[in-house]
Every structure is written in structure tokens, then in C-alpha cells.
Amino acid sequence: MTSLRMHLIAVVALAGCQPVSLPDRPAAERSPDRPENGATWKVVRVIDGDTLEVLRDRKSLKIRLQGIDCPERQQAFGTEATQFTSQQSIDRQVILRTSGLDRYGRTLADVHLPDGRSLSRELVRSGFAWHYKKYSDDDALSRCEREARQAKRGLWAGTDPTPPWQWRAERRARQQPDSQELTIHPNGVAIVGLLPNPEGSDEGHEQATIGNTTQTAVDLDGWKLVDKAGNVFRLSGRVETGSDLVVTMTEPTMPLNNKGDSVLLVDPAGVGRSRASYLKSQVQPGVALTFLPTID
């Protein structure tokens, strides 16, 4: 076996969650975390562990770290996660690798620190975040989570930490009334269409269509959809009078069930205005279901 081959095998064997530095290479190539392209931004505010604000040329962006989920502020290690993100990034120049916007207008991105490390991986490696496996298949994040678990770092020091997505779902279930028990009070704003099974991937491509038969335009800020399980999708946008608004459900807080479901439209005052129900037999790939306003 040649010495070169032995050197390569050693590098592969050591590769894992820890970054591997190879000698005699430019800094941009040395770190596998550093994106090849991307603008440099300054971190000016940390909102919580996985949300921050950056600034460049007087333009600010609110960033949601992709691929991870930090404990909520009310959870154990929620404050520590926020402090860690602040210590690593505040007032520093970072590089963004973006992948679009979420429904709140935040830019989804992997944030790379000045030394090339991924902030998301550092949070997971240090035990201040989960790898959000439902929405990310990043092997490096999985390795970092395994490392943190084995070392009992941060939130893994406890016996059974509650993932933030489970914590949010349980909180919604406590706060939201059963949509099937609410009486509908129609007011001309209604669910007129649902696309529970779009062509290709369901996640981020399902749609709800809101119709407006009133004499005035309706601002949907504060309105929400609630499914049978109590999951909530918060609406935004404006429906003009006599028109429909197609809302693409990019935030996976209330996936439309392909096995059938009942979806309630609730106004900002908490009044049910419309209900749309469908069966498993009605769900076909790429076919939008249409509804007339429901009156209870």
C-alpha cells in the first residue's frame, strides 16, 4: 500500500462531525462548510437560537437557520441556545447559503461563520439544537446530533428532552378549540379550494384557496386554518372583493391529510367562518378540491 493511499484512508476515517483541515490549501477550500458563493452580511440581532437578523448595504434580512430546530424560549435550554448563537455570530461578518423564504418572510439559510464553520452544525454539535430530520437529510447534522447525544452535551444531559416541534404541537392542542365543535358563522369569506396532494412532493406545495364574496377586500393577517388534529396554518395576504386567493402552504405547520380531513377557517376574533371537509377517496395527485361555503 502506497503512503499516499494510506494518507487518504486516514483522512476518510477521521471525517465525521468534526471539520477536517487539509494542509497547503487556500482557506476557502480548507473548510467544507464554507459556501463557494454568497454575499457577506453582518449579524446585527439574534432573536432566538435559530433566528437572527443580518445587515448589508443598509438592507436587513431576517434569517431562519435551515435544517435545525432550537428549543423554544420557554423550554429548557432555549435561553442557552439564544446565548450560544449570540456568542458565535453577533456583530460578525457571515456568509449565507440561502434556499428561499418561509411563510413569515424569513430567509431560510445556512449561516457560515468567519472561520467557515456552519452555525447550524455548531448548535447541534454543542447540544443546543435538534437536527430537524423531517425537513433535512443533511448527514453532517445527523453526525453532529449523534456526537452531542453520546457526549450528553446541552439538552442531551437530560433523560428525555422534548423536541420543540412536539412542544409546539402540544401547546397548540391545549390552546386551540376542537375545530369540529365550533359553530360556523359565514360572512362571505370561505375556503373554496384545497390541494392536499400536489404533483411531486406534498411538503411546501399544498394549497388552500380563500374566496371573498363580500363588498370589500379582506386582509387575511390574523386569519388561520385549523385542521381536525388542531394543527394551525396562519394566513396572510389580501383577498379582493369577488376574487379568490390561492395560498401555497410553504410552512409545514398544518399538512393537508391525504387520508381525508376537515379544515376550519377562523377569523382574527376566533370566529369560525368556513369549514371544508374531504374524504380519502376524493384525493387525487394534482387535483384541487373545490367547495361551496359551508353553513352549519
Active site residue 64: yes
| Catalytic residue from among 64, 125, 273, 275 | 64
Active site residue 106: yes
The CA radius of gyration of the chain, in Å to the nearest whole number, is 23
The x, y and z cell numbers of residue 52, run together, are 437572527
| Catalytic residue from among 106, 121, 125, 275 | 106
Active site residue 171: no
Residue 266 phi/psi, 5-degree rounding, is: -120, 135
Q: Alpha-carbon distance 103 to 202, whole Å?
A: 16
| Catalytic residue from among 25, 56, 58, 72 | 72
Q: Which residues are catalytic?
A: 64, 72, 106
